[in-house]
Amino acid sequence: MNRNEFDFQKVETCDFWDDKYIKNEISWDLAGPTPAFVKWFKNKNKNKKIIIPGAGNGHDAIHLAKTNFAVYAVDFASEPIANMKNKNLSNLNLISEDFFNLSKKYNSQFDYFLEYTFFCAINPRRRFNYIKKSFELLKPNGVFIGMLLPINNNSKDDGPPFAVNIKETIEMFSEFYTNIKIKKTKLSIEPRKEIELFITMKKHA
């Protein structure tokens, strides 16, 4: 087994990520909600359901729950789930499971699917399955919103985070989504301004 294959297997375990939280090795954590998401959701109908995979400490989930969205935060690491549970928010529903093993009872239940730092953290070989799963979870005409990063790294095997090839990624998304819009945003945090893109798309009817 080569080193990269071993690394890929590690990121698929909850122990790997729990260890990151315990050691506070969570450089992806913004310590607050994502500015671009705060703006995007500001004037949206609050009577909607949002699912957030790999929610981590849940800054986006907590913010959106406080603004009256029904939020479902998914993570298989126990540390971030415990951190979110301490917030005791009625609109924040915690799902302590592997995203890829979510029950079919969640299919077609969500208006929005919110992505940030999860797509780049999973084994790149599972990205197509991730996209398919997101499609299954959304209601007809549901919307996928996210940040994709890192986009200017040619290496695929030095993560996590694992590099995102935008052309290949959009081709995969196009099998399930339409009206794909992707751009840089002035609301990216300074260290990520050149390595991330804001993306929205709608589930194929």
Strands 197-203, 177-183: pairing kind: antiparallel
Q: What pLDDT shows up at residue 152?
A: 74
User: Phi and psi (nearest 5°) for 21?
Assistant: -70, -40
Name the residue with higher pLDDT: 152 or 91: 91
Q: How many helices (H) and strands (E) does the chain have?
A: 7, 7
Mean pLDDT of the chain: 93
pLDDT score at 112: 98
Rounded alpha-carbon distances, angstroms, from residue 113 to 64, 70, 108: 13, 12, 11
pLDDT tens for each residue of 145-170:
999 999 976 655 567 999 999 999 99
For the record, the structure tokens of 123 come out as 């084994």
Q: Is the pLDDT of residue 192 over 70?
A: yes
Query: Which pair of structure tokens corresponds to residue 38?
Result: 């705060």
Q: Give the global pTM.
A: 0.94
| Distance spanning both ends of the chain, measured CA to CA | 42
Task: Decide if pLDDT at 182 tops 50.
Answer: yes
pLDDT tops 70 at residue 126: yes
Q: Which runs of E-coded beta strand occur in the chain?
A: 49-52, 70-74, 92-95, 110-116, 138-148, 177-183, 197-203
**pLDDT single digits (tens) 5-50:** 546 888 999 999 999 999 999 999 999 999 999 999 999 999 999 9
Residue 171 has pLDDT above 80, yes or no: yes
User: Per the structure block, which two tokens stand in for 131?
Assistant: 């996209």
Which of these, 180, 107, 103, 99, lies nearest to 140 by C-alpha position? Answer: 107
- Compute the C-alpha angle 70/76/78, nearest 5°: 95
- pLDDT tens digit sequence for 47-77: 999 999 999 999 999 999 999 999 999 999 9
- Checking if the pLDDT of 2 tops 50, the result is no
Closest to 28 measured CA to CA, from 151, 189, 170, 198: 189
Per-residue pLDDT at 96 exceeds 90: yes
For tokens 């084994």, name the residue.
Answer: 123
At residue 32's C-alpha, the angle toward residues 28 and 34, to 5°, is 75
Q: Write the burial class of residue 74 (CB in 10 Å: 0-12 exposed, 13-18 middle, 19+ buried).
A: buried
Distance CA 93, CA 65 (A): 9
Domains of the chain are 3-203 (3.40.50.150)
